[in-house]
Amino acid sequence: MPVTPAQQAEIDAQRSEPRQTLRAVSEGMERHLYLARPVLDHGFVRVIDYMGDDAAICQAARVSYGKGTKSVSNDAGLIRYLMRHWHSTPFEMCEVKFHVKLPVFVARQWIRHRTANVNEYSARYSILDREFYIPRAQDLAAQSVVNNQGRGEVLGAEEAARVLEYLKGDAARCYDHYEEMIGQDGQQGLARELARMNLPANIYTQWYWKVDLHNLFHFLRLRADAHAQYEIRVYAEAICEMVKDWVPAAYGAFEDYRMGGATLSGKALDCVRRMLKGEEVTQETSGMSKGEWREFEGVLEG
């Protein structure tokens, strides 16, 4: 169950009480505010609060007051300039706070992005719910033979069924023992901070994650990429849909220059110039290693 009845009641109450404000409001983000977007089998991501919009980015860049310009096209052009030239501080003027429910092993990947404020559900004080991430059969794949961090071919039906039985059975047994250790019906059991160590990494946790737009874009560039692990990528893709409505001009520039663009080394740029002059360039004459050349060819071929 992604959202508990109590959480849904809280969401309904928050959505039913609109408030007047003098601060900048993004109509696109207002539509997402408080709503939980389901991710994976029991997870979700939702916006709890936000600050700023596209105009706030431009205002900071110009160090001015008010809207700074009457032309939306001028603002969009300025934002594209800032993104193109890797300016960061204007984008840091926008912030957003998410409430995320996610498997622990995904959280351990996520927390590597240290440029955010995080407050996680504590299993020292509270009892974790019996909720585990169990992949779909089509998401179970063998270890890649070319990438130590990635997946290869999807498992066959028989092998996938065996793996799913292991995942479900092990998770259930671990939680049964967890409940026994912490004690039931008033019995004094093992301290929760100790009992939790027996729980598997696919159990769900929750946190509030607050980040500025500059660092959020960095997170999305890595985690919404096609090469990112599926289980964190689907969270990033859900966040992308929210950010697109929050700061459409900034997100458009981000899609163009970061997600859809490429960075070339000095050697690679020199090869492009030589190619434009009609010269035939090979890996041997490029000055690049075989790995660099493969990546360069990948960029040129799309």
Cβ–Cβ under 8 Å, residues 82 and 252: no
Strand order in the sheet with 36-39: 36-39, 43-51, 95-103, 204-212, 117-120
Residues carrying an active site annotation: 223
DSSP string for 131-156:
-B----GGG-EEEPSS-TTSEEEEPP
Coil vs helix vs strand at 118:
strand
**Cα–Cα dist 94/212, whole Å:** 6
Q: Is the dihedral of CA 231, 102, 39, 48 positive or negative?
A: negative
Residue type, 94: C
